[in-house]
């Protein structure tokens, strides 16, 4: 689905469980070149280098750069020597779990909320602004979101950030259509990653999917399906699709109430 030999920047690699890695691996399998970004060297050492899911050789083959998405100079540096990008994957989010997630929606930790909003929503626009001259015409930007039609327990301010991120997708799509840069999001069901396990109640969220997803949902294996959809949006078969939120969630986001026993596989 993607062109062999094209270069893609995949931002948000933490460890081999990251959605970023599932997408990057698929791009590589299809003959694309992938440049990953990791937030900083310390995180790479602690979480990526120590992870045993990939061999030393497999790790050394990956092309990795560092970029904290909230630091303008790091974005400038990153794009200063990257050119002819066919696509960018923005797979980044953060909110302080102690204040932005949990049983109580209310918090007075406004600085935490601002930081979460910067990382999880505004950063898509920051990346696009810095990347415009490095992107080919046509090219594609894909970000990752989570169902914003419903209010989920514990997800509190990340839910707000995701709603904002989807609005940023539409704003950027309108702005950059003239540059033939498409901007879309994949709205994924719950998947087992570091970010997800930091969400209090992730297990309950996964159980919710068992009760609401018409197509059975697997929090491990379905990372592949999310990656497939990202590749569709990155590649040649989506040339006139922009500003859209593509739900890859087994259908849970359109289900009213719970599945009846006769509807379950
Ligand atoms: N896992 C799920 O259930 C799920 C579902 C839907 C959407 N998503 C979204 O997918 C994306 C990727 O998350 P994941 O589940 O793969 O988890 P992950 O923890 O592997 O990835 C999150 C990434 O965000 C990065 N990040 C946070 N702050 C940053 C900063 N200041 N600068 C640069 N990078 C920063 C982290 O370093 C990490 O690499 C996120 O946007 C997440 O909200 C996840």
Residues with CB under 6 A from ligand 1: 12-14, 18-20, 39, 43, 68-70, 91-94, 119, 144-146, 188, 190-191, 193-196
* Arithmetic mean of pLDDT, 225-242: 98
Task: Give 191's Cβ-side CA count (13 Å radius).
Answer: 26
Total domains present in the chain: 1
* Model pLDDT for residues 99-128, shown as the tens digit of each residue: 999 999 999 999 999 999 999 999 999 999
127 lies in some domain: yes
Between strands 33-38 and 181-188, the pairing is unpaired
In a mutational test of the pocket of ligand 1, which residue from 92, 209, 221, 227 has the highest number of ligand atoms less than 8 Å from its CB?
Answer: 92
What's the gap in Å between 198 CA and the centre of ligand 1? 11
C-alpha span between 216 and 256 (Å, rounded): 16
* Arithmetic mean of pLDDT, 147-174: 97
C-alpha span between 212 and 97 (Å, rounded): 25
Q: Which structural domain range is residue 230 located in?
A: 7-263
Residues in the chain, how many? Answer: 265
Residue 1: is its pLDDT beyond 80?
A: no
Mean pLDDT of the chain: 96
* Arithmetic mean of pLDDT, 149-171: 97
71 lies in some domain: yes
C-alpha span between 194 and 182 (Å, rounded): 28
Residue 151: is its pLDDT beyond 90?
A: yes
φ/ψ of residue 223, rounded to 5: -60, -35
* Model pLDDT for residues 81-107, shown as the tens digit of each residue: 999 999 999 999 999 999 999 999 999
Domain of 39: which CATH number?
3.40.50.720
2 lies in some domain: no
3-state secondary structure of 214: coil
21 lies in some domain: yes
0.85 exceeded by the pTM?
yes
* Arithmetic mean of pLDDT, 26-51: 96
C-alpha span between 214 and 212 (Å, rounded): 6
């Amino acid at each position: 689905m993607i062109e062999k030999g094209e270069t893609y920047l995949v931002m948000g690699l933490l460890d081999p469980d990251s959605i970023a890695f599932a997408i990057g691996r698929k791009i590589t399998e299809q003959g694309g070149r992938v440049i990953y970004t990791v937030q900083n060297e310390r995180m790479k050492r602690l979480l990526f280098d120590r992870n045993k899911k990939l061999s030393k050789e497999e790790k050394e083959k990956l092309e990795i750069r560092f970029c904290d998405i909230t630091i303008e100079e790091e974005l400038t540096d990153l794009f200063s020597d990257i050119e002819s990008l066919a696509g960018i994957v923005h797979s980044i989010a953060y909110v302080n779990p102690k204040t932005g997630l949990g049983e109580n929606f209310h918090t007075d930790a406004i600085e935490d909320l601002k930081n979460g909003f910067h990382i999880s929503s505004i950063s898509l626009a920051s990346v696009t602004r810095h990347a415009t001259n490095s992107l080919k015409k046509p090219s594609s930007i894909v970000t990752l979101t989570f169902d914003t039609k419903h209010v989920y327990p514990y997800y509190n301010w990340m839910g707000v950030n995701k709603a904002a991120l989807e609005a940023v997708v539409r704003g950027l799509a309108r702005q950059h259509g003239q540059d033939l840069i498409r901007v879309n999001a994949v709205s994924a069901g719950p998947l087992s990653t570091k970010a997800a396990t930091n969400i209090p109640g992730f297990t309950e969220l996964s159980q919710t999917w068992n009760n609401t997803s018409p197509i059975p949902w697997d929090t491990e294996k379905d990372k592949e399906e999310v990656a497939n959809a990202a590749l569709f949006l990155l590649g040649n078969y989506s040339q006139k699709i922009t500003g859209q939120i593509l739900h890859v969630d087994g259908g849970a986001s359109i289900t009213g109430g719970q599945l009846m026993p006769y509807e379950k596989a």
